[in-house]
Amino acid sequence: MSADDVDTVATSARPRAATSAGSLLGAELARLRHRRLVLALLLLGLVGLLAALAAVFFTHDRDVAAARATAQTQYEQQVRDQTAFAQQCRADPSVPEAQKDTACPPTTIDPQMTPESFYRDPRLRADQGLPAIATGVGVAGALLMGLIAATAVGADWSSRAIITLLTWQPRRLRFLATRFAAIGLLAVLVGVVGQALGLALGLVTLATRGTFEASPAEDGGPPAFGAASHLWRDLVLLQGRGVLLMVLAAVIAAAIATITRSTGGFLGFALGWFVVVEVAGQGLLSSVSPALARWTLTQNVAALLTPGGTTVFSAASVDGVATPTTHLSNWDGAWHLAVLALLVSGLAGLLLRRRDL
């Protein structure tokens, strides 16, 4: 090798992939893209979405006449059963004659019970079906992205690959922030694709087995999903909130997996929290401290996804007095979950910075 060759080798710049500003984010995205378990979970989520939408498709049709005929048949059967039971009760010698009017049902049919009471519209209605699909995609996607984020982070701790990664990028907080950003970007991509696929297949069902007619208001109340003129605006906002929920769930799961340093630690913590606080704890909070119920995950997820927000009890009823309630808007649910994500991420960063590997 000549002296010129030695000088050339000594002064050559390092590969661009190792020095460019976006290399760390790109590397994290590439590692997510090449993980077999991540791909398997995404494929499982896709299969689940297609199966759910296939069930929606095959459980709806436009045969309104058949549905009304079924309702009429059920109504007539109910009338016969009630009449026969009333006559049998009044003919029963064990029932005192003076008590027959109170112990036995009337022989006449309640005028409020009509064939319309048994009628169920077989069509998929746009203002009911599309929001339900968007909500389902958001909730299922949040669970899926939480599992993906936890496995992506926990695998590096179990395989000790985290040591190599922090050797390449010793600034731990920057590394953690970039990792969370990559997971968040994956959640956005999965959420957008999932919502778009759900909307497309929902429109196919509407075009062949549904209707865009507005659902009738119940008991004179508001329509099922906002005003008909704002259906698409409200639907897009709902889909956006579903994607936001997926991002927050992924970041929270990644942070918990960083704190526990394993996927199993996240699963144990998540299962324990859900069983103790979200399921068993709801009844206890309602009786002991109802004001805390508004801070649970289930209430805030419901507030984020429910159009217009949701209402929770804020105090226990006393001597039959109406129970005070608190309204949680979509914004309340969003910032409550966002603050939780920031707090858990901050704790994960603090522990990672001080932890010996």
Could you tell me the residue ranges of all domains in the chain?
24-62+123-354, 68-122
Comparison of pLDDT for 326 and 340, the residue scoring more: 340
Cα separation, 247 vs 255, whole angstroms: 12
- 255 vs 269: CA distance, rounded Å: 12
Instruction: For residue 268, name the pLDDT band (cuts at 50, 70, 90).
Output: very high
Q: Is residue 67 scored above 70 in pLDDT?
A: yes
- Would you say 322 and 290 are in contact if contact means Cβ atoms under 8 Å apart? no
Average pLDDT, the chain: 84
* Amino acid found at 302: A
Paired tokens of 231 = 């259906």
Mean pLDDT of 110-131: 88
- Banded pLDDT at 343 (limits 50, 70, 90): very high
308: pLDDT strictly greater than 90: no
Give the H/E segment covering residue 287: helix 280-288
- How does 170-206 read in b/e, with b if 16+ C-beta sit within 10 Å? eebeebbebbbebbbbbbbebbeebbebbbebbbebb
SS3 of 328, please?
Answer: strand
pTM over 0.85? The answer is no
Mean pLDDT of 275-280: 80
Q: Which residue has the higher pLDDT, 227 or 39?
A: 39
**What distance in Å separates the CA atoms of residue 257 and residue 262, rounded to the nearest whole number?**
5
At 125, give phi and psi (nearest 5°): -95, 135
* pLDDT higher than 90, residue 177: yes
Q: Can you say how many angstroms the Cα of residue 163 is from the centroid of all Cα atoms in its chain?
A: 35
Q: Evaluate if residue 49 carries a pLDDT over 90.
A: yes
